[in-house]
Amino acid sequence: MSLRVLNPNAEVLNKSAALHMNINAAKGLQDVLKTNLGPKGTIKMLVGGAGDIKLTKDGNTLLKEMQIQNPTAIMIARTAVAQDDTSGDGTTSTVLFIGELMKQSERYIDEGMHPRVLVDGFEIAKRATLQFLEKFKTPVVMGSEPDKEILKMVARTTLRTKLYEGLADQLTDIVVNAVLGIRKPDEPIDLFMVEIMHMRHKFDVDTRLVEGLVLDHGSRHPDMKRRAENCYILTCNVSLEYEKSEINAGFFYSNAEQREAMVAAERRSVDERVKKIIELKNKVCAVTENNFVVINQKGIDPPSLHLLQQEGIIALRRAKRRNMERLVLACGGEAINSVDDLTPDCLGWAGLVYEHVLGEDKYTFVENVRHPHSCTILIKGPNDHTIAQIKDAVRDGLRAVKNTIEDEAVVLGAGAFEVAARQYLINEVKKSVQGRAQLGVEAFADALLVVPKTLAENAGLDTQDVIIGLTGEHDRGNVVGLNHQTGEPMDPQMEGIFDNYSVKRQIINSGPVIASQLLLVDEVIRAGRNMRKPT
Amino acid sequence: MAFSMQPYGIQSMLKEGHKHLSGLDEAVLKNIDACKQLSTITRTSLGPEGMNKMVINHLDKLFVTNDAATIVNELEVQHPAAKILVLAGKAQQEEIGDGANLTISFAGELLQNAEELIRMGLHPSEIISGYTKAITKTIEVLGELVEEGSETMDVRDKEQVVTRMKAAVASKQHGQEDILCSLIADACIQVCPKNPANFDVDNVRVSKLVGGGLHNCTIVRGMVLKGDAVGSIKLIEKAKVAVFASGVDTSATETKGTVLIHSAEQLENYAKTEEARVEDLIKAVADSGAKVIVSGGPVGEMALHFCERYKLMVLKISSKFELRRFCRTTGTSALLKLSQLKADDLGFIDSISVEEIGGSRVTVVRSEEGGNKIATVLLRGSTDSILDDLERAVDDGVNTYKAMCRDSRMVPGAAATEIELARRLKEFSFKETGLDQYAIAKFAESFEMVPRTLAENAGLNPMDIISKLYEKHASGNAKVGIDLEGGDSEDGFCKDVSTLNIWDLYVTKFFALKFAADAACTVLRVDQIIMAKPAGGPGRREQPAGMDED
């Protein structure tokens, strides 16, 4: 081989070997992820290098944790991760779709077809499918009062594929309410304003939505109040501790009195800042029974804490930066950077502030705020892997709700879209295409069926029966999806199974692109030094 | 051409050293097997006649115990599925503080029965759905089994407390439960706050001192600190206490200070002013009426000198948490700096004395009239491992007290509840149509594990006893359990537990069963395991099992 002449150490795979390597890798990855799809998918257990356990059904998590090395598989995995970045869901479907495209192509290639022709067909089919998607989608009017029911349906569809039913249904409400809570008219939804906090405590079904914030630290003074109602919240980023000067300074003193004076002087500026806060507290809480809470991003040293405690102020130090923004959104008021211009307007308000101690860890709840533009989903679970699993699911659920609000459209789920699109491609598009590209369209159409097929397989149903039942109904003009309990066709609209429009669009967009690239590879060359030990 | 030879499938895609297990045989059954192994280990420790285990952990520390939480913790389980069971046990330990053994053993039994179902041809998802139905039903039935009248209790009534605590303590220290329960109950009742729901486990301390025996164990209303007092005053009674979080010494600036001295005279003066300062401070403390100074930091030589002169007792508690507890005991708040005291900064104690118990010096702080916030159980025993085991029993007892403060409902103990649950659940399974019924029936059967194990561990014939129990339960008495000492009586080993006074807390059972069912379902749900190459690191070869738990 010519390359061997140029570099004797290079490894090379020629035409058909390269293609088959790609196809095999795609199929292999498909095999791994296949069992994940749908509400009846099974769980994978990932054991990390340190023996830590992770349980997941989420394709994205799995791909991330699996540490894949095969170059083709990495390419596919990256596409799937990109899918997750843009739409937050559909990773498993992407991988399955790519795998199936390759599998279908293999059949034609083995019969002597040139990959280029298939790729042309893919391109035509892709465009047609996207057009069909536009027609097929169910528009949803969002406006200022979004239809909660439809959002719930979308969220439920996503969550049920990640968690078991009972928990998924409970999280559905939480997720929808959280997104609607932080939504502001005419502004894009910022999902970072939903804090996801976890406590290792009780059961997974104790997960709840907190209208306010949960901070994962508590006050550092043993005598501070543990619980306070009707609180003013001062959010600040002011250092309330003695800081060493940056220059290398020292004191000279010649007797103990002088030293005492020095000690007092050192603290004076800090004490003054604390006094200003106390003054404000006295001003706003003078006659009422209201309480005062200081949440500081910087530190508060023990003497300052002591002063604040004496005034009955709850003080939290070293709050996380991201929580500062959320606090302001949740409680109102504004975050201050200096105590010089304190006014009552800077203060936020919360109905209830309390501390919860769980073993060694302390949590502070800021609840019953007036306008929860930021809220917290508090995940509970008996152990870490349950919590991690819920966390991933919640994130996907939030994304699904957000997508729906932004897309203003949903797509019928349970495989209904895939079957309908296939019928459209076979019956209409294929006939309008000239020449051999028809076969590409056909391969694409058949590849679409991987979703209902896999759904059926995971539910322990007979794949062929299911597909025939579904296509039969579609031929009769009924849009149906798969009921995974019975294996019979059913109307997804009645069952409330909706997928995200953007997720589907992304799958159809990215799947064929990567499949085409892989099919068009005709040589794989590994040159350069092999970092792995010779085997 | 190295990479054209790659095998097909997932194995080729993973990094070297990764393991991939999938499918029914490779993943599910192997997982079940591992969990079974684990529960076989813990099972023999279940119940009052349970055997002790000797576990030597990676630090060569010896544990002799039958407390399942400790055993599995020190075992450092590696197998991922078995680890799920361990985590369930730990969750139970954190939530209730007792019943970890029940959780692990029961989950193991559930999985063992699941294996039989799988071999019969059931799909794991059907077993899961059956088990889920069964646990929901179990919880429902468990609620019905609650002893009437136990919803309300006076958590300050020792007798009621002991009734509920006995089973938990007896399962750890059989034969000594009467002595221990009475001690624990006393300590708990003493520190129980006005609202019992706020009971804090941390307020009952345990102090272990080698020597003596169980009969020398006592309760101290207050604290027992290891170590001696700093000064020469070793005993003080009815005195006021001042607590300083920082050390008792001259004050210092945060920035480095240097003494500037121009002449010899100044040097002399400096030492004098320094002395005067300290004397002023100590005098201020003494004038305020305090007779004891407790310091969280170092005590300066000079300060100590003046303390002695003003007849102040000096204690040093370097642990921050210990200091906080001391503050709670005496009703003070720790002062940050050695400065002027206000009268309400002072706390009060009945006595502080340095005593010599079993060869070690301890400082006993008694506060009988005051806050009564902290009680210490002083445990005596001949060896360290006995003491450790006693401590675990006390911990379990205290945790049970905490649980009963929140929810005082109780159910019959000594396997009576389990048999009743098994019976009712079996009836329930007959009503179920579909494949679920097999799983529910197996779930019911799993409950037999408890009486079987109790009997086995006590050296009795399990089959005999279980059938007798069923018989009695079928005839309507839902409270018949195993009486391990009842061999001579006419009823044999089966007796109404309400006459034996063996009760379990409802919450303990509730959480244990729920965690166990959750864990079992989780293990069954897994059909693929992908294991990364175990992280290397120095010292792994010496201790092949010594991987960190978290």
**CATH number, domain containing residue B432:** 1.10.560.10
Q: Whose CA is closest to A106, among A24, A10, A221?
A: A24
In total, chain A counts a number of residues equal to 535
Q: Which residues of A touch B327 (CB under 8 A)?
A: 222
Q: Which residues of B touch A52 (CB under 8 A)?
A: 550
Min Cα distance B211 → chain A (Å) is: 32
In B, minimum Cα distance to A40 occurs at: B125
Domain A217-371 in CATH 3.40.50.300: no
Residue B505's DSSP bridge partners are B410
- Model pLDDT for residues B216-243, shown as the tens digit of each residue: 788 888 888 887 777 787 888 888 888 8
Tell me, yes or no, if A312 comes closer than 8 A to chain B by beta carbon: no
Tally of domains within chain B: 2
- Best mutation target, B6, B320, B514, B530, to test chain A (most A CBs within 10 A): B530
Min Cα distance B536 → chain A (Å) is: 8
Q: Which residues of A touch B1 (CB under 8 A)?
A: 11-13
pLDDT of residue A10: 64
Residue A419 CB-density burial (10 A; 0-12 exposed, 13-18 middle, 19+ buried) = buried
Rounded mean pLDDT of A54-78?
Answer: 77
- Best mutation target, A255, A354, A361, A380, to test chain B (most B CBs within 10 A): A255
CA separation for the pair B437, A31 (Å, rounded): 32
Please report the beta strands in A107-164, taking only residues with DSSP state E, as ranges in sequence order: 138-139
Query: Of A204, A392, A396, A407, which one is the catalytic site residue?
Result: A396
| Domain that residue B330 falls in | 222-253+261-371
Residues B363 and B226 in one domain: yes
* pLDDT higher than 50, residue A535: no
* pLDDT higher than 70, residue A459: yes
Q: What is the ipTM for the molecules in this complex?
A: 0.72
- Model pLDDT for residues B353-382, shown as the tens digit of each residue: 888 877 778 888 887 765 567 888 888 888
Contacts of B357 (CB under 8 A, 6+ apart): B209, B211, B378, B380
SS3 of residue B169 by DSSP: helix
Q: Which residues of A touch B406 (CB under 8 A)?
A: none
Which tokens belong to B86?
A: 């361990």
Q: Whose CA is closest to B29, among B131, B119, B89?
A: B119
Query: Of A58, A84, A89, A446, which one is the catalytic site residue?
Result: A58
Tell me whether residue B193 is in a domain. Answer: no
CA separation for the pair B226, B248 (Å, rounded): 20
- Best mutation target, A52, A305, A383, to test chain B (most B CBs within 10 A): A383
pLDDT of residue A9: 65
The CATH number given to whatever domain includes residue B356 is 3.50.7.10
- Best mutation target, A42, A169, A241, A257, to test chain B (most B CBs within 10 A): A42
Residues B71 and B137 in one domain: yes
Tell me, yes or no, if A428 comes closer than 8 A to chain B by beta carbon: no
Q: Do B91 and A254 touch (CB under 8 A)?
A: no
Q: Which residues of B touch A40 (CB under 8 A)?
A: 125
Is A91 a catalytic site residue?
A: yes
pTM tops 0.90, yes or no = no
Min Cα distance A69 → chain B (Å) is: 5
Min Cα distance A300 → chain B (Å) is: 14
Tell me whether residue B49 is in a domain. Answer: yes
Mean pLDDT score of chain A, rounded to an integer?
79
Contacts of B204 (CB under 8 A, 6+ apart): B184, B187, B188, B191, B374, B375, B376, B377, B394, B398
CA separation for the pair A61, B99 (Å, rounded): 34
Rounded to 5 degrees, what are φ and ψ at A379? -90, 130
Rounded to 5 degrees, what are φ and ψ at B40? -65, -35
In A, minimum Cα distance to B82 occurs at: A53
pLDDT of residue A530: 55
A85-94, A275-284, B216-225, B369-378: the lowest-pLDDT one: B369-378
Q: For the sheet containing A498-500, what is the strand order?
A: A138-139, A409-412, A498-500
Which tokens belong to B300?
A: 């300066």
pLDDT of residue B467: 83
Residue A315's DSSP bridge partners are A294
* One-letter amino acid of B346: L
In B, minimum Cα distance to A224 occurs at: B333
Q: Do B258 and A24 touch (CB under 8 A)?
A: no
Q: What angle do CA B255, B258, B262 make, to 5 degrees?
A: 155
Residues B332 and B266 in one domain: yes
Do A134 and A124 touch, CB atoms closer than 8 A?
no
Q: Do A45 and B333 touch (CB under 8 A)?
A: no
The DSSP annotation for B9-73 comes to SGGGGBPTT-EEEEHIIIIIIHHHHHHHHHHHHHHTT-STTPPPEEEE-TT--EEEE--HHHHHH
Contacts of B28 (CB under 8 A, 6+ apart): B118, B124, B524, B526, B527
Q: Do B533 and A49 touch (CB under 8 A)?
A: yes
Residues B455 and B509 in one domain: yes
Residues B331 and B435 in one domain: no
Q: For the sheet containing A361-369, what is the strand order?
A: A213-215, A361-369, A348-358, A227-236, A291-296, A314-316
Q: Do A259 and B257 touch (CB under 8 A)?
A: yes
- Model pLDDT for residues A174-192, shown as the tens digit of each residue: 888 888 777 777 777 777 7
DSSP B259: E
pLDDT of residue B359: 75
* One-letter amino acid of B274: E
CA separation for the pair B80, B99 (Å, rounded): 22
Sign of the torsion formed by the C-alpha atoms of B235, B241, B247 and B250 = negative
Query: Of A72, A92, A454, A471, which one is the catalytic site residue?
Result: A92
Q: Which residues of B touch A257 (CB under 8 A)?
A: 273, 277
Q: What are the start-end ranges of the H helices in A339-407?
A: 384-407
* pLDDT higher than 60, residue A221: yes
pLDDT of residue B535: 65
Q: Which residue positions in chain B have pLDDT lower than 50?
A: 1-7, 539-550
pLDDT of residue B471: 81
Contacts of A518 (CB under 8 A, 6+ apart): A22, A23, A26, A72, A75, A76, A98, A102
Angular region, A313: left φ>0, alpha ψ -120 to 50, beta rest: beta
Count of CB atoms situated within 10 Å of the CB of B175: 10
CA separation for the pair B520, B514 (Å, rounded): 10
Do A65 and B18 touch, CB atoms closer than 8 A?
no
Q: Do A51 and B83 touch (CB under 8 A)?
A: yes
In B, minimum Cα distance to A301 occurs at: B336
Min Cα distance A360 → chain B (Å) is: 11
Q: Whose CA is closest to B510, among B411, B420, B422?
A: B411
Which tokens belong to B247?
A: 């050390």
Min Cα distance B547 → chain A (Å) is: 7
* pLDDT higher than 80, residue A200: no
DSSP A300: B
Question: Percent of chain A having pLDDT more than 90?
Answer: 0
CA separation for the pair B508, A306 (Å, rounded): 40
Residues B325 and B458 in one domain: no
The secondary structure element, H or E, covering residue B425 is helix B416-431
Do B67 and B51 touch, CB atoms closer than 8 A?
no
Q: Which residues of A touch B535 (CB under 8 A)?
A: 48-50
Count of CB atoms situated within 10 Å of the CB of B144: 10
Min Cα distance B298 → chain A (Å) is: 18
In A, minimum Cα distance to B6 occurs at: A21
CA separation for the pair A289, A316 (Å, rounded): 20
Residues B248 and B337 in one domain: yes
Interface of A with B in 336-395 (CB under 8 A): 359, 382-386
Out of A250, A255, A384, the one facing B256 most closely (by C-beta) is A250
In B, minimum Cα distance to A64 occurs at: B14
Tell me whether residue B394 is in a domain. Answer: no
Residues B322 and B455 in one domain: no
CA separation for the pair B513, B175 (Å, rounded): 27
- Model pLDDT for residues B309-348, shown as the tens digit of each residue: 888 888 888 888 888 888 877 777 777 776 667 767 777 8
Q: Do B527 and A11 touch (CB under 8 A)?
A: no
Three-state DSSP string of A330-353? HHCCCCECCCCCCCHHHCEEEEEE
Q: What angle do CA A32, A34, A40 make, to 5 degrees?
A: 125
CA separation for the pair B40, B45 (Å, rounded): 9
* One-letter amino acid of B425: L
Rounded to 5 degrees, what are φ and ψ at A294? -110, 125
pLDDT of residue B8: 52
Buried/exposed code over A159-173 (b: 16+ C-beta within 10 A; e: otherwise): bbbbbbeebbebbbe
CA separation for the pair B224, B234 (Å, rounded): 14
Q: Among 1.10.560.10, 3.40.50.970, 1.20.140.10, 1.20.1250.20, name the CATH number for the domain at A3-139+411-526.
A: 1.10.560.10
In B, minimum Cα distance to A459 occurs at: B125
Helix orientation angle between A71-87 and A15-34, rounded to the nearest 10 degrees: 50
Which tokens belong to B260?
A: 């500037």
Do B155 and B161 touch, CB atoms closer than 8 A?
yes
Helix orientation angle between B506-525 and B80-95, rounded to the nearest 10 degrees: 160
Is A396 a catalytic site residue?
A: yes
Residues B443 and B509 in one domain: yes
Is A58 a catalytic site residue?
A: yes
- Model pLDDT for residues A487-528, shown as the tens digit of each residue: 777 877 777 788 888 888 888 888 888 888 888 877 777 666
Query: Of A91, A94, A161, A235, which one is the catalytic site residue?
Result: A91
Helix, strand, coil percentages, rounded to 5, for chain B? 50, 20, 30
SS3 of residue B226 by DSSP: strand
Min Cα distance B338 → chain A (Å) is: 12
CA separation for the pair B299, B292 (Å, rounded): 13
Topology (CATH) of A145-211+375-407? GROEL; domain 2 (3.30.260)
pLDDT of residue A204: 75
Do B242 and B335 touch, CB atoms closer than 8 A?
yes
In B, minimum Cα distance to A244 occurs at: B255
Rounded to 5 degrees, what are φ and ψ at A93? -60, -40
- Model pLDDT for residues A300-350, shown as the tens digit of each residue: 888 888 888 888 888 888 888 877 877 877 777 788 888 777 777 778 888
Q: Which residues of B touch A303 (CB under 8 A)?
A: 336-337
DSSP A242: -
Q: Can you give the C-alpha Rg of chain B in angstroms? A: 30
Domain residue ranges in chain A: 3-139+411-526, 145-211+375-407, 217-371
Q: Which residues of A touch B254 (CB under 8 A)?
A: 242, 244, 266
Residues B18 and B114 in one domain: yes
